[in-house]
Homo-oligomer: A and B are copies of this chain.
Amino acid sequence: MHIDQFLLALVAIFVAAKLFGEIAERLGQPAVLGEIIGGILIGVSGLKLVDPKDVTIHLLSELGVILLLFLIGLETDLSKLLAVGGPAAAVAVVGVTLPFAGGYLFGNWLGLETMVSVFMGAALTATSVGITARVLSDLGHLQDRESQVVLGAAVVDDIIGIILLSLLGSLAGGAELSVMGVSRIVLIAFGFVIVAILVGSKLAPALIRAIERINMAKGLFFAAVVFAFVLAYLADVVGSAVIIGAFAAGLVLARTEKAKEIEHQVHDVATFFIPIFFVVTGAAIDIRTLNPFNPDTRQFLLIGLALTAIGVVGKIAAGYAAWGPGLKRLIIGVGMVPRGEVGLIFAQIGLASGLLSAGLFSAVTVMVILTTIATLPMLRMLLDKKTPDAHPEYSDYVMDAPDDD
């Protein structure tokens, strides 16, 4: 890619994000819904100004979701998250089990091979922690107890998703699964977060004191960004996901005395990268799979609608696995519904490995599109729009931070 194409793609991304984000907000919807729709219009289904498979665009969108999860981590109180640990784990486990079983049984009923049915079940288990966290933040509800349950469950769900992907990769490769092998994958996936938080919590205060002592220009900003990138890198290297590492980095730094200042300093850079992620997510969606007048894709549209129903019912039911006084469990369930980019990654791996035919890939894509886009207005109806005054740095998608006015 040459610099002129790159500049044009960035201009298209920012214009689409701000224009459609603004329209969504005026219609009372979360800005992220507008950004995804803007992405659809300039991506593979529309003007083709942004190629989501271009390596630079893809890497910048990854930086966007890394910075988003880092900020969400910075906003999250680990003790509050652990306080809802039980309900969150229950929601995650039920929210994986029900859609998986439903997808598998549906595949069986269609007469698909066992491995294909397993894969379809697995593709239904994902929750996009990025989309869920962003919509809760757009609406100013990130600190609600329901949101903490959703956030915890979505992170556990992501970790389970990583485990499932590793297992499916081995199975698709024809490998036998040993108890040892499975245990190792599970241990690494959960162990990383625990070790990162324990070790990070020891190191972070010393790092911040060192930066303070040398009084380096923009030192805290770069130290925080480097800390987040290093944990994201380590997560990837041990076989976890970059967003899990970034979230852990945020959780760790949230417990230091400089948390607010870090959040403030990282905010503007995050504002630049985060819309790239959501617009590129939209740009990757191929809406031709939704065309009911095309006889070639109609049966897969129907399969996709059935998968959507299974996915939505399974996740909403999972919300009722939570407990706690006065907890609105329907909100939790709906918050778990969006599959987003995680669902698309599952679908693409299935297509690449040959497990999913082009038609079944479309069907899974239909499920991803509908669970992502259709649930945002649902969540909007269940949550009243708050003015998120308690966390001004974070909520500029709803209103400008006071220092920027």
Contact = CB atoms under 8 A, between A and B. Distances in A.
A64 to B, nearest CB: 12
A207 B6 CA distance: 23
A237 B15 CA distance: 20
Q: Which 8 A-B pairs have the closest CB atoms?
A: A268-B268, A7-B233, A56-B56, A4-B236, A7-B229, A269-B272, A6-B59, A11-B229
Nearest to A214: B22
Contacts of A396: 217-218
Given A56-B55, A217-B398, A3 B62 contact: yes
Interface string A363-393: 0000000000000000000000000000000
B221 A271 contact: yes
Contact of A216 (B18, B217, B272): B18
A11 B226 contact: yes
Nearest to A3: B62
Interface string A19-40: 0011001000001000000000
A402 B400 CA distance: 20
A230 interface: yes
A14 B226 contact: yes
Interface string A43-71: 00000000000011001001000100000
Interface in A116-149: none
Contacts of A398: 217
Number of chain A interface residues as a range? 35 or more
Nearest to A267: B268
Interface of A, helix, strand, loop or mixed by DSSP = helix
Interface string A219-241: 10110011001101100110000
Contact of A7 (B56, B232, B267): B232
A219 B272 contact: no
Given A3-B62, A222-B14, A398-B217, A8 B269 contact: no
20 contacts: A3-B242, A6-B59, A7-B229, A7-B242, A10-B229, A11-B226, A11-B229, A11-B233, A14-B222, A14-B226, A15-B226, A18-B216, A18-B222, A217-B396, A217-B397, A218-B271, A218-B400, A221-B268, A221-B404, A272-B272
Interface of A: 1, 3-4, 6-8, 10-11, 14-15, 17-18, 21-22, 25, 31, 55-56, 59, 62, 66, 214, 216-219, 221-222, 225-226, 229-230, 232-233, 236-237, 242, 264-265, 267-269, 271-272, 396-400, 403-404
A135 to B, nearest CB: 15
A97 to B, nearest CB: 30
A4 B237 contact: yes
A217 B18 CA distance: 8
A218 to B, nearest CB: 6
Contacts of A399: 217
A3 B59 contact: yes
A326 to B, nearest CB: 32
Given A3-B232, A7-B229, 13 more contacts: A3-B62, A4-B233, A4-B237, A4-B242, A7-B236, A11-B233, A31-B217, A218-B271, A218-B400, A218-B404, A221-B271, A264-B404, A268-B269
A400 to B, nearest CB: 6
Nearest to A66: B7
Among A229, A265, A396, A398, the one with the most B-chain Cβ atoms within 10 Å of its Cβ is A229
